[in-house]
Chains A and B, each alone.
Chain A
C-alpha cells in the first residue's frame, strides 16, 4: 500500500482514454464499475471538449458480481458497436474489472465484430496513466499497421515525408505544438504523412508505414510505438524535442538529414525573438536566477536546458514524476551538479522546493500550488494539466514560437529587470519598496501584503528539517533586521547562503557581520 494525497498520474486506463479521445473513429469499451465515468469530465471540463470521450463503461454493480459480469461486457460491447459504428475498437478493464478476470479480450473476440478489436492489458496495480497511453498507442499501431500489410511501393519522385507521433488529448500544449512543428517540417519541403494519435483515424494509422521517418514529439507516449516502427518498417526516428532555440535548430538539422534536404530554409525564422530578448540588456537581471524544475521527465530535462543555456538561469533542482525516464533525468541533473528528484509524492517535491529556495519554479499544476503556498514565482511546463493550460490563444512550447512563449511565460512571473534595480536602489523608500511586489502582477502575488515581506519569505521549518546543522543556528535580532532589508527576491538565497556559511564556520549565532562575511565568501 502506498499513501497518496494528490497524484501526478491517473490509472493506465485514463492513458488509454487520452489516446482514444485524441483519435476519431475509435471506440473504447471499458469494463468498469459505476463511478469510473468521472474520467469523462477531465476531457469535457479541463480541455473543454465538445463531445463525450468515445468510451462505453459497462457499469457493473455489486449484485452483478454474483451473476454474469461477462455477459454485461458482451452486451455493452455489442451495443457500443451498433450505436457508434467505430472503425476500430479497443477493449480493456479498469482496476476493479481486472480483479474479476472476465477476459474482455476473449469476450470481444467471440462477438466477431466486423472491425478490428484491439485488446489492452493495462496492469492497474503496477502502471500509471502515461504508460497506459504509450501502451495503447503501441497496440493500435502494431495492429493497424502490421509488418505484412499491403502497401504500394514508394514513389521515388515523391517528396520526403514523416509522421508526427505522440500528441494526445489532455497533453500539455500538444494541440499547439503540432501546429508549430508541422510548420517547421513543411518549411523544409517535407510532407507530414500522419499526425497520431491526435486527430488520426484507424485508417491513418494503417498508413504510418508510408512515411520515410518518424518524429517522436513526446517520447513518453510515442517511444514504444516508434521503436516498433523502426524495427518493423525500417523508419528511423527523430527524437530531439524542439523545445527552445538550440533544440529547435538541432531538430531541424536532424529532420533535414533524415529527409535528405537542406536545413537552411527553416533554420531562421523572422518571428523568432527569444534569443534577442534574452541577450538584450533588460534581461541581465535573469542571470543566475535560481530555478527549480519538476514535471514530466522529457519536459523537465528540456526546460532545464533552456533555462540554463538560453535564459542564463541557475538550475537548483530537477526532477520528474514518471520513473520510465528516470535515467535521462538523472544524467541531466548530474550535468547541473544536482541529484535528480524522482518521485510521485508531491509532499516530497514540496520539501525539496522549500529547501532549495528557488526564485522560480517550473513545474506542473501541483508545483504551481506549492509555489503559491511558498510565495515563489512559478510557470507551468508540464502535465498534469488544469483548465488554464488550455488557453484560447495559440501557445506552443515547441519551435521558434514555442521559444518565444517560454521566454514570456517564464520571465513574466519574475520582477522585471529595470524594476529590480530600482527596488534595490530605493528599498527603504516608503512607497516604492519590495513590499509593493512586482508592479505588473496583481494582488496575491509574491511580496504582496506586509506579512509576506516583513516576515522572511522562506520556510525556515522545512529548511531546518532538511539541514539539521542549520537548525541549531540562531539569528540575532539585528542580523534578522538586516536580512529583511534585502529585497525579497534574493532574501531566500541570502538566508540560505548565510546559514550554510555559518554552519561551515561552526558558528552558533548569526550577527550582522556574519551576513556580510557570508556575502563576501559567496561572491568570490
Chain B
C-alpha cells in the first residue's frame, strides 16, 4: 500500500532537499486529541465532539490514560437511530447542547467538533453552529471545526480550531497601530514569560492567540504582525493572511538560539534597537545555555530518529543538532509545511532524511537498521521499541509540557537526556 516518492522541488535552497513521502499505516493521533490541551488553554470553552464511541474512547485514552474530573469536553455519540435517519440530527444536537448548558452554564464558547463519522455522513455542523449561535446568543458563541482523522493529524486539530476562531476575531482597522500577535497555544507560564520579554523590548501591543477567555479574542487586520509559536498552524496563518496580516518568518522558539532568533524577528519588525535587543535577551539566553549545559554531556554525539507526530519534529531536530551536538538520522513529520519550516530546514544537515507521512512498518524497519541512540515516537511504539533495546522518548510529552522559550530550554533538553540517563542507571537489570 506504500506509494514511495522522493520529491525534488526546485525553487529555494531550503525546499530543494529531498523528502521521503510515504503512505501507509500511520501510528498517529487524529486532530481530536488536541482538545486535551486546548480545553485547558481556553478556559471558558467547551468542546463537543459529534462522533462515535471510538472518538470518546480516544480522547479519554489520550488524556493521560484517564484523568478523571468533569472536563470541558464531551462526545455526542452517534447511534444507530441517528444514522438510520430515524432521529433528526439537528433536533438531537439541540437537545444534547441544552443538556450540556444545563450542566455547565459557565460556558461562553462551544466548539462543535466534527469527527470521521460526522464528516462521512456529511452532518452539516457549520450550519448547526450558526443555528445554535443564534439560539443561544448572546451568552454563547458556537464555533465549528473538524478534528477528524480523515482530515487532521494530531496537532492539526489545533490548527483547525484556531483557523475557525480567526473568523470570530474582530476586524482591526487599516489605520490601527502595528501589533504583534503570537499565534499558537502556549502554557500560561510561557506566555507570561514572552509577554515580559516583548514588553522589555518596547513592543507596545502584544497579544496571544488563542486568548484565555472567549471575550478577549484579539482583533486582526493589515497591521497585525503574526509570529507563529507553533509550527503546525498553516491553515490558521492562511486565514490571518486573508485578513491582511503579515507573518514574521523565524525558527520556532526552542532552545537558546531558536528563542533568540524568534524574538529577533519580532524585534526587527518593530524596529527595536540592536543594543536594546541584546541587553534584553542576554539574561534569558544565558540561563538557557546554562541549563542546557548539564544535558550536553549526555546528548552530544548521540543519534536520534523521529517518528512523525506533532509537526514539531524538524524544529526539535534543529534544536538538538545545532545546540546540543546530536546527530539526526531521520526526521519524520506527519506534514511538512515548507514555507513555515524554511528557517528550520536550512539549519538541518542535508544528510538528515526528512520523511513526510508514514508507513509505520517500513519506518520501523529503517529505525531498526539505523540503531539510533534514541527514538522519538508515540506511546503505541515506545514500549515495543524499548523491549527491543532501543531507548525512546514519548513524543506526546513534547506537546503537553512547557518547552518553548529560554527558561524551558533546559527542561526540553532534559526530556531527551532523561531516557538515556535512565538506561545507563539501569544497566544492571538490562534484559
Contacts and interface: CB of A to CB of B under 8 A. Distances in A.
Contacts of B30: 33-36, 38
Interface magnitude class on chain A? 35 or more
Contacts of B100: 3
A75 interface: yes
B60 A6 contact: yes
B191 interface: no
A6 to B, nearest CB: 6
A1 B380 contact: no
B75 to A, nearest CB: 5
B54 A94 contact: yes
A65 B120 contact: yes
A429 interface: no
Contact of B61 (A41, A62, A370): A41
A95 B121 CA distance: 12
Contacts of A79: 1-2, 361
A57 B80 contact: no
B417 to A, nearest CB: 22
Given A1-B93, A386-B66, A36 B54 contact: yes
Contact of B53 (A11, A35, A65): A11
A61 interface: yes
Contacts of B24: 59
A179 interface: no
B79 interface: yes
Contacts of B31: 35
B65 A387 contact: yes
A52 B92 contact: no
A11 B78 contact: no
B149 A1 contact: no
Interface in B53-92: 53-54, 56-58, 60-62, 65-66, 68-71, 73-80, 82-83, 87, 89, 92
A368 to B, nearest CB: 8
B53 A56 contact: no
Contact of B54 (A10, A45, A75): A10
Interface string B21-37: 00011111111110000
B83 to A, nearest CB: 6
Nearest to B58: A38
B13 interface: no
Contact of A59 (B25, B57, B82): B25
Contacts of A462: none
Nearest to A61: B150
A37 B26 contact: yes
Interface stretch (B163-171, B178-186, B320-328, B381-389): B381-389
Given A34-B153, A44-B382, A3 B87 contact: no
- Interface size class for chain B? 35 or more
A124 to B, nearest CB: 6
B384 A49 contact: yes
B11 interface: no
A230 interface: no
Choose among B26, B82, B83 the residue with the greatest number of A CB atoms under 10 Å from its CB: B26
A73 B68 CA distance: 37
Contact of B65 (A6, A45, A49, A95): A45
Contacts of B79: 1-2, 125-126
Interface in A345-398: 347, 365-366, 369-370, 384, 386-387
Contacts of A95: 52-54, 116-117
Interface of A: 1-7, 9-11, 13-14, 33-42, 44-46, 48-52, 56-62, 64-65, 72, 75-76, 79, 83, 94-96, 99-100, 123-126, 128, 347, 365-366, 369-370, 384, 386-387
B119 interface: yes
A354 to B, nearest CB: 14
Given A56-B25, A62-B119, A33 B75 contact: no
B120 A83 contact: no
B148 interface: yes
B351 interface: no
B53 A10 contact: yes
B151 interface: yes
A41 B96 contact: no
A75 B116 CA distance: 22
Contacts of B119: 62
Contact of A44 (B57, B99, B379): B379
Nearest to A40: B380
Contacts of A36: 30, 54, 58, 149
A124 B56 CA distance: 13
Contacts of A76: 1, 25
A38 B61 contact: yes
Contacts of B50: 1
Contacts of B56: 4, 6-7
A371 to B, nearest CB: 11
Nearest to A57: B25
A414 B29 CA distance: 41
Given A79-B1, A95-B54, 12 more contacts: A3-B96, A6-B66, A6-B68, A34-B30, A35-B33, A37-B380, A59-B25, A76-B1, A95-B116, A124-B52, A125-B52, A365-B68
A46 B65 contact: yes
Contacts of A10: 53-54, 57, 61
A75 B28 CA distance: 20
B384 A44 contact: yes
